[in-house]
């Protein structure tokens, strides 16, 4: 059977698939019994088969030799997406990696349902990138990957608009706002409900998400322990030079971590250590690069962020793999300070969504928060500040988008 469309939410951090079958919404469990599949891949060093999802994360945690990748969606539309690099024993592009991930998603969906899928409705952020040309390239990149994965009829729906269709009757609201904060983007849709009809009044999006929160927290809390912000002695003559920042930014960026483990990077760190005023910190950086601990740092930051967001006493970013007993303290106040720019971007985006819709903020009845990163306290705080008279509700954080995509694809 090939007439049913498959809905795919290919996310920066997690992905999901669903369909409407016999009039019922059906989420597919693509990774054990979970409704979502971590958007992560692992290539064993000895040319074994690519692993995806929880198996990829488990391979990294177990210390298996190989290449781990996450946040692949964030490089759609960039030159990096089509550059050929040594991955898993041969040269590949990230486009090939994403295609393989989507093809495996399709294969698992077909195995679970007994159907053959040729049609797909994929979610997309309102804007992959602020630049229109790069945004168009990102959409073309994702279209190409879906086609190469085996889909012959490909459609797209903005993710917050799909979430609005899934969540519109959540509170009985007539004028509502979807706040969809994912791993790579923040997207917003103002909608009006009339009877059974959901009308999208305006949608807006910015390139800001959970991986950006992680990057800012890593730069603020962790990278100074590795030498960021330090100084270098000049090779000749008196005076000091500032520590270059690029390597720390890349190390704090999920999508760029795998490409730091090169001879050039190792040589550069060796030079930094030679002239560093604080050699111990750069020694930690050297160990991170030599032992490929970048993703261990990223997961530690993510865990610390979750602890601090939940108000856990003594929350910290544990860095014991780098140095015994090493950690960075983190709490609500330090997070707020590190994320002040992100908060300002959220505030501006909420105001812009209302402006695009021609709706006064006071008219919004309910703000519905979806997306894994909507669980961050600063998101609820930003929404409260922008819409103090509106109620807040939570949709299914990780599946509202794919639910809405399935309903849209089925014409429900």
Are residues 269 and 282 in contact, defined by beta-carbon separation less than 8 angstroms? Answer: yes
Residue 218: φ, ψ to 5°: -65, -45
String of DSSP letters for 155-206: EEEEHHHHHHHHHTTSS--SEEEEEEE-SS-EEEEEEEEETTEEEEEEEEEE
Q: What is the pLDDT of residues 194-235, one digit of tens each?
A: 877 899 999 999 999 999 999 999 999 999 999 999 999 998
Strands 391-394 and 366-370: parallel
Domain ranges of the chain: 6-159+403-409, 173-209+340-395, 212-338
Q: What is the rounded distance in angstroms from the CA atom of residue 301 to the CA atom of residue 294?
A: 11
Average pLDDT, the chain: 94
- pLDDT > 90? residue 172: no
- Report whether pLDDT(150) > 90: yes
Task: Check if the beta carbon of residue 201 is closer than 8 Å to that of residue 212.
Answer: no
Are the C-beta atoms of 47 and 88 separated by less than 8 Å?
A: yes
- Fold match between domain 6-159+403-409 and domain 173-209+340-395: yes
Please write down the HEC assignment for all residues of 217-238: HHHHHHHHHHCCCCEEECCCCC
d(CA 181, CA 373): 5
Confidence at 3, pLDDT banded by 50, 70, 90: confident
The rounded distance, in Å, linking the Cα atoms of 246 and 181 is 27
Strand-strand pairing, 90-92 and 85-87:
antiparallel
Question: What is the C-alpha separation between 220 and 349, in angstroms, rounded?
Answer: 24
For residue 247, pLDDT beyond 90: yes
Alpha carbon distance 349, 185 (integer Å): 11
Pairwise CA distance, residues 92 & 85, whole Å: 5
> Sorting pLDDT into bands at 50, 70 and 90, what band is 395?
confident
| pLDDT average, residue stretch 384-403 | 94
pLDDT tens for each residue of 294-342: 999 999 999 999 999 999 999 999 999 999 999 999 999 999 999 999 9
Percent of the chain with pLDDT over 90: 89
What residues contact residue 323 under an 8 Å CB cut-off, 6+ apart? Answer: 284, 287
Please report how many Cα atoms fall inside a 13 Å half-sphere around the Cα of residue 309, on the Cβ side: 21
Query: In the predicted model, is pLDDT for residue 379 greater than 60?
Result: yes
User: Minimum mean pLDDT among 111-115, 170-174, 376-380: which range?
Assistant: 170-174
Angle at 131 between CA 74 and CA 341, to 5 degrees: 70
pLDDT at 2 over 80: no
Task: Write down the architecture of domain 173-209+340-395 according to CATH.
Answer: 2-Layer Sandwich (3.30)
pLDDT tens digit sequence for 27-75: 999 998 999 999 999 999 877 899 999 999 999 988 898 999 999 999 9
Assigned superfamily of 6-159+403-409: ATPase, nucleotide binding domain (3.30.420.40)
Q: Which residues pair with 233 in a beta bridge?
A: 240
Hey, which residues does 368 pair with through a beta bridge? 178, 393
Average the pLDDT over 265-293 and give the result: 95
């Amino acid at each position: 059977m090939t007439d049913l469309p498959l809905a795919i939410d290919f996310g920066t951090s997690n992905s999901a698939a669903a369909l409407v079958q016999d009039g019922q919404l059906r989420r597919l469990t693509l990774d054990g019994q979970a409704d979502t599949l971590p958007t992560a891949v692992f290539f064993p060093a000895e040319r074994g088969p690519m692993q995806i999802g929880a198996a990829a994360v488990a391979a990294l945690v177990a210390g298996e030799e190989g290449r781990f990748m996450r946040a692949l969606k964030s490089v759609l539309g960039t030159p990096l997406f089509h550059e050929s690099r040594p991955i898993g024993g041969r040269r590949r592009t990230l486009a090939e990696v994403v295609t393989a991930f989507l093809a495996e998603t399709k294969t698992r969906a077909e195995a679970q349902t007994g159907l053959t899928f040729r049609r797909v409705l994929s979610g997309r952020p309102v804007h992959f990138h602020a630049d229109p040309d790069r945004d168009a390239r990102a959409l073309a990149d994702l279209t190409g990957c879906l086609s190469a994965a085996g889909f012959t009829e490909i459609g797209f729906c903005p993710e917050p608009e799909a979430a609005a269709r899934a969540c519109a009757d959540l509170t009985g609201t007539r004028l509502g706002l979807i706040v969809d904060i994912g791993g790579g983007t923040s997207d917003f849709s103002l909608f009006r409900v009339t009877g059974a009809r959901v009308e999208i009044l305006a949608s807006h999006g910015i390139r800001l998400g959970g991986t950006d929160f992680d990057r800012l927290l890593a730069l603020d809390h962790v990278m100074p322990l590795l030498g960021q912000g330090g100084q270098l002695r000049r090779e000749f003559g008196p005076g000091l030079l500032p520590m270059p920042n690029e390597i720390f930014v890349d190390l704090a960026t999920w999508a760029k971590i795998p490409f730091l483990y090169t001879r050039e990077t190792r040589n550069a760190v060796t030079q930094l250590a030679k002239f560093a005023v604080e050699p111990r910190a750069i020694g930690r950086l050297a160990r991170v690069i030599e032992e490929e601990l970048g993703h261990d740092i990223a997961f530690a930051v993510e865990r610390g962020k979750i602890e601090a967001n939940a108000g856990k006493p003594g929350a910290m970013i544990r860095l014991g793999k780098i140095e015994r007993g090493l950690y960075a303290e983190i709490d609500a106040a330090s997070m707020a300070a590190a994320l002040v720019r992100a908060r300002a971007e959220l505030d501006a985006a909420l105001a812009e969504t209302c402006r695009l819709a021609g709706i006064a903020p006071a008219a919004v009845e309910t703000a519905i928060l979806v997306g894994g990163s909507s669980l961050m306290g600063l998101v609820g705080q930003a929404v409260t500040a922008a819409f103090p008279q509106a109620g807040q509700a939570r949709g299914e954080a990780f599946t509202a988008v794919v639910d809405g995509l399935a309903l849209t694809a089925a014409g429900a």
